[in-house]
Chain A
Amino acid sequence: MKRWLLLLLLLLPASALAQGSAFSEVRQCNICHGKREFKKVMPDGTVRSLFVDQEELAASVHAKWACVDCHADIRVIPHPPRLEKVNCQRCHFPGNPVGAPEEVNYRGYEESVHGRLHRAGNPKAPVCQDCHGTHGIHKEDDPRSRVFKSNVPVTCGRCHQPVLADYARSVHGRSLLERHNLEAPSCSDCHGEHEILPPKETASEVSATSIPETCGRCHASMEFNTKYEIPINPVKTFKHSFHGIANELGSSKVANCASCHTAHLVLPPSDPDSSVYPANIPKTCGKAGCHPGANANYAKGRFHLDPSRRDAGVVYWVALFFKWLTISTLAALGLHILLDLVTKLRRAKHGA
């Protein structure tokens, strides 16, 4: 029992036991870091602010911790100029005694594209604080959080700038960023959070063969589509098309949702900037060697066609005609077989 207690004491950050000292510690650090003008000139000539906003820290989920609980390599003040990067896993590990949130999906980071780059020593690879922030960390459902749904695009966009530019113009981006519609997807709704994989890998949520299901999480529901004025079920009709069938059977060459609609600059077909605006269809179908020489013919007809619906036009009528031709022919043939069989069996019985 005594040994357990000792172990617990060792695991607990010092300040958890002595809140009073935490306060004085912050004061000490504040002598320098509390000044807005406290800056440092980096070797490459850029100026880096070393100011720590106490109000921001006090409002964060980490308000109760002392500076040295995270910046654990500081033993003396003034501290050496180069400090280690804060390691969040000091607290955020499974079964940690301080109650720091630990979810299974954190571990997905290690094998994610970001985690792999980080392990390979790429200095640009993001670690926890690049997305979650440093001193101003909030819970993900707190609008102040950098990983709050409508803040995610800007957070990811710090590195993925061209993607953010496309996304912000798209139906999804405008809905989330301008209209604050939390039903609209942010980056992580399609790409995942910690476990993001490159699109070329089959297991990725945005790989060629996963895309229909990923988009289908919203667009497979007609209730959802109707709400956003999409007149036809785009996922169901895709799955019945050549593209959809080949995609389902594992072809990564065939067109998936993003091939035609683009990944990030998704715009309605009525928008002249849209990749599926009629005038842009030839270019879209003809790209990447899919349908070389695609011309205006490609736009003359409906996409996401459902032949059983009146709005399919001539295709509906031809399908209806052939449907009944097939049904009536097969019924007539079946009737003939039945008549022939019954007659021959009856005659055979009478003859015997």
Chain B
Amino acid sequence: MARQRPHKDELLERFTLQERLQHWLLLLSLTVLALTGFALFAHGTWIGRVLLRLEGGMAARGTLHRIFAVVLMVLAVWHLGYVLFSARGREQLRALVFRKEDAVAFRQLLAYYLGKRRELPEFGRFTPMQKLQYWGAGLGSLLMIATGLVLWFHTKAMAVVPKWFFDVTNIVHGYEGLLLFGLLFVWHVYIVHLSPGHLPINRAFWSGKITAGELYREHRLEYRELFGDLPPEGYEE
């Protein structure tokens, strides 16, 4: 049942308050974790030394890292509960699953980039890139939590696992941190905020709302499901 056709500037809720809170908590915890983690990783460089001083030295850095690790773990439990046990959460999770259409859309996007296609592909509620960000951030965080716990409780962990496992954990934690940083703080931030059309900031992450025009341009399949085939009133390519 299609709703009435909206005006292009009409604001539509894309993320609920609860979803935005989760996002803020993730942003906060990952930022502190990245800064305190990188300070240890780059302790020998000037940037590492600056970060270490800002974080109050080696011991304070470790405490800070662990406090926000707990924040991330609480968030992980909250989020898992949300996507598994709430109707809205389950709906979002279903929409985030990779499908055959994503491969098609991705090929079309590449053709668009290479100038072989005039139109942007038609995306659903989540583009293939957004799905990649979600799963990358989600599974990456879980891997960081698991490996981080081994490193944090190394004395207890080493009662069970051999030293080489601990060494592997250490390596994985370091590289996975770097991967997450690239995925979220570079790629995700570019797509959402820095890319032409969104610069300098996309207010959706604060208000949770986007205009009907944006929905039509960037998530056309979702728009059609909601409002039918006609573009929003006053919409121009």
Contact = CB atoms under 8 A, between A and B. Distances in A.
Interface stretch (A71-79, A207-215, A257-265, A298-306): A298-306
Interface in B100-149: 110, 112-115, 129
A250 interface: yes
A345 B196 contact: yes
B171 A319 contact: yes
Interface string B46-76: 0000001000011100000000000000000
B82 interface: no
Secondary structure dominating the interface of B = helix
Nearest to A249: B58
Contacts of B81: none
Contact of A300 (B52, B164, B190): B164
Interface string B175-189: 110110011001100
A46 interface: no
Interface string A242-259: 000110111100000000
A143 interface: no
Interface stretch (A2-10, A82-90, A333-341): A333-341
B101 to A, nearest CB: 19
B interface, how many residues as a size bin? 35 or more
B159 A293 contact: yes
Given A305-B167, A314-B168, A322-B171, A295 B176 contact: no
B166 A301 contact: yes
B40 A341 contact: no
Nearest to A342: B113
Contact of B57 (A249, A314, A342): A249
A245 B182 CA distance: 25
A333 B163 contact: no
| From A251, A294, A300, residue with most partner B Cβ within 10 Å | A300
B58 A333 contact: no
A340 B58 contact: no
B219 interface: no
B171 A318 contact: yes
A245 B165 CA distance: 21
B172 interface: yes
Contacts of A323: 175
B141 to A, nearest CB: 16
Contacts of B40: 245
B179 A325 contact: yes
Given A305-B167, A339-B113, A248 B161 contact: no
Interface of A: 245-246, 248-251, 291-295, 297-303, 305, 307, 312-315, 318-319, 322-323, 325-326, 329-330, 333-334, 336-337, 339-345, 348
11 contacts: A301-B163, A301-B164, A315-B167, A318-B171, A322-B171, A326-B175, A326-B178, A339-B114, A341-B195, A341-B196, A344-B196
Interface of B: 40, 43, 52, 57-59, 110, 112-115, 129, 154-155, 158-168, 171-172, 175-176, 178-179, 182-183, 186-187, 190-191, 195-197
